[in-house]
Amino acid sequence: MKLPRDLDGPQLVKALGILGYQATRQTGSHIRVTTQRDGENHEVIPHHRPIKAGTLSSILKHIAAHHKMSMDDLLKMLDL
């Protein structure tokens, strides 16, 4: 499944809510999200429009690894 090319930071934060992620703080143009599901996990999401493909790929790979799922499964779950 291909990564979306027009996704911005707030859209990603909202989509990650499905996995229990909530914005815990924002410093400048970066939003830190945290979940307690499957153990505590933090990710930093840039508040950019759009998020660069490499950055988005890296964030999603970390999240998929934390939740022990494939990237394709994660993208389907998030409906991106």
**pTM (2 d.p.):** 0.90
The alpha helices in the chain, defined as continuous H runs, are 9-16, 53-66, 71-78
The full set of domain ranges for the chain reads: 9-74
CB 11 within 8 A of CB 26: no
Class of domain 9-74: alpha beta
Question: Per-residue confidence of the chain (80 residues) as pLDDT tens digits?
Answer: 788 899 999 999 999 999 999 999 999 999 999 999 989 999 999 998 999 999 999 999 999 999 999 999 999 999 88
Which residues make Cβ contacts (< 8 Å) with residue 63, sequence separation at least 6? 16, 19, 41, 43, 74
pLDDT of res. 64: 96
